[in-house]
Amino acid sequence: MDILKKIFGKNNIHLKVIRIFYNNNGYFNNITGLAKTLDVSHVTARKVISDLVDAGILKEIDIGKSMVIKANDSSPYAKVLFDFIGSVQGIKESKSIGEIIERRAREAVVRDAEVTD
C-alpha cells in the first residue's frame, strides 16, 4: 500500500484531491470536473475543496462566470505539504532503486557461479 495512504487513510478524498494537484503541476478544474474525476458527488467535492481552500492548500479563481480551483502556489502550507509528498515519494523511489541494484548484484553472482561450474 502507498505510504501516503497509510498516513492519510485509504479512501481519503482530501488526499486524492491533493495528489491530483501535486502530480499535475498547473492543473486547474471546476467543482463539477473534480467531482467527475474523483467519482464523488458535487456536494462531497465542494466540501473537500472548501476544506483545502480554508487550509491554504488550494485557491479558487473566478474566470468569467466560472470558478476554478488550482494549487495555491503562494501558500507556505501548500509548499510544505507538496515538499513532504515529494520527500515521501523520493524515499520510495530510492528504496526501489536500491532493491533493483541488490537484485542485479545477486543475479550477477549466480551467473558468475554458473559460468565457473
SS3 28: strand
For residues 38 and 45, is the Cβ–Cβ distance under 8 A?
yes
Architecture, CATH, for domain 3-116: Orthogonal Bundle (1.10)
Q: What is the pLDDT of residue 105?
A: 75
pLDDT, mean of each 10-residue run, the chain (117 residues): 62 87 89 93 92 91 90 91 84 68 72 63
Contacts 24+ apart (CB under 8 A), 46-50: 48/13, 48/14, 48/17, 49/17
Structural domain boundaries in the chain: 3-116
pTM of the model: 0.71
Q: What is the pLDDT of residue 1?
A: 43
